[in-house]
Amino acid sequence: MKTFDVVLASDFRLPGGTNHSNAQELAIHKELGLTTGLVQCNSRLSARPIPWSTPIIDELDPSSVRPLDVSVPTHARLAILRHPVALEALPDLRSQLDVDHAVIVANQPPERPSGILEYDMPQITSIVEERMGITPTWAPIGPVVREGLEKHAGGAEVAPHDWTNVFASSTVPAPRESFNLQRPRIGRHSRPQKSKWPANTVDILHAYPATDEYDVRILGGTNALDGVLTSIPTNWTVHPFGAMPPQDFLTGIDFWVYFHHHNWLEAYGRAIMEALWSGAVVILPEYLRSTYGDAAIYCEPAEVRHIIDEFRNGARSYLEQSTRGQLFAQAHRPGIHESRLRSFLEQDSSPYEDAPETPSRAIEILQSLPTAKQSLTRRAPRRPRPKALFITSNGSGMGHLTRLLGLARQLADDVEPIFFSMSQGVSVAGLAGFSYEYVPYTSALKTLATNWNSYFRSRLLAAIDHHSPVLVVFDGTWPYRGLIDALDEHPQIRRIWVRRAMWKPDVRSPHLDNTELFDTIIEPGEYARSFDRGATTRLDNAEAVPPMTVLSEDELLPRDEARAALGLSTAPDQHYALVTLGAGNINSITSSQEHVTAVLADIPGWSSVVTKTPIAIGVSPAQLVTLSTFPLSKYTRAFDFAVSAAGYNSFNEWVSGGLPTVWIPNTATMTDDQEARARWAAYVGVGECVREQDAPGVALAVRRMTNDGIRNQYVARLAKLREPNGTRAAADIVTRVLNNG
Residue 9 pLDDT level (bands cut at 50, 70, 90)? very high
What is the average pLDDT across 697-720? 91
CB atoms under 10 Å from CB of 515, counted, come to: 14
**What is the value of pTM for the model shown?**
0.55
Q: How many residues does the chain have?
A: 741
Amino acid at 372: A
Least reliable range by pLDDT among 336-350, 550-564, 618-632 = 618-632
Residue 315's Cβ-side half-sphere holds a number of Cα atoms within 13 Å equal to: 7
| Whether pLDDT at 587 is above 70 | no
For residues 646 and 652, what is the distance between their CA atoms, to the nearest angstrom?
Answer: 9
Question: What is the predicted pLDDT for the residue at 349?
Answer: 35
CB neighbour burial string for 386-411, b if at least 16 within 10 angstroms, e if fewer: ebbbbbbbbbbbbbbbbbbbbbbbbb
Q: What is the DSSP string of 75-111?
A: EEEEEEEE-TTGGGG----TTTEEEEEEEEEE-S-SB
Instruction: Give the C-alpha separation, 483 to 474, whole Å.
Output: 9
Task: Say how far apart CA 252 and CA 693 lie, in whole Å.
Answer: 35
- Residue 651: how many CA atoms within 13 Å on its side-chain side? 31
Rounded mean pLDDT of the chain?
86
Per-residue pLDDT of 126-138, as tens digits, reads: 999 999 999 999 9
User: pLDDT by residue (tens digit) across 514-559?
Assistant: 678 899 999 999 999 999 999 999 888 899 999 999 999 999 999 9
Q: Tell me the mean pLDDT in the region 178-205.
A: 93
49 exposure class (CB count in 10 Å sphere: 0-12, 13-18, 19+): exposed
Q: Which of 654, 659, 664 is nearest to 690 (CA)?
A: 664
**Which pairing describes strands 97-106 and 137-140: parallel, antiparallel, or unpaired?**
parallel
Indicate the DSSP class of residue 589. Answer: -
**Structure confidence at residue 546 (pLDDT):** 97
Given this model, what pLDDT does residue 589 score?
44
pLDDT reported for residue 47: 64
The amino acid at 254: D
Candidates 96, 102, 30; CA nearest to 69 is: 96
pLDDT band, very low/low/confident/very high, at 348 (cuts 50, 70, 90) = very low
Distance CA(409)–CA(301), nearest Å, equals 60
The pLDDT of residue 347 is: 56
Q: What is the pLDDT of residues 165-179, one digit of tens each?
A: 887 665 667 778 789
More confident residue, 89 or 592: 89
User: Above pLDDT 90, what percent of the chain?
Assistant: 54
Rounded-to-integer distance, Cα 15 and Cα 418, Å? 71
pLDDT recorded at residue 114: 79
DSSP readout, 295-355? GSEE--GGGHHHHHHHHHTTSS-HHHHHHHHHHHHHTT-THHHHHHHHHHHTSS--TTTTS
Give the tens place of pLDDT for each residue, 426-458: 888 887 889 888 888 876 666 788 888 998 999
For the segment 268-308, what is each residue's pLDDT rounded down to a tens digit? 678 898 899 899 999 999 988 878 888 899 999 999 999 99
Q: How far is 412 from 432, CA to CA, in rounded Å?
A: 10
pLDDT band at 488 (very low <50, low <70, confident <90, very high): very high
Asked which of 60-69, 363-372, 410-419 is least confident by mean pLDDT, the reply is 363-372
CB 471, CB 388: distance < 8 Å: yes
pLDDT of 511 > 60? The answer is yes
From residue 243, alpha-carbon distances to 24, 167, 219, 234 in Å are 21, 21, 8, 20
Pairing verdict, β 362-365 and 387-392: unpaired
Mean pLDDT confidence for 329-354: 65
Given pLDDT bands bounded at 50, 70 and 90, which one contains residue 582? Answer: low
Residue 374: the pLDDT is: 58
Of 288-302, 345-359, 557-571, the least confident = 345-359
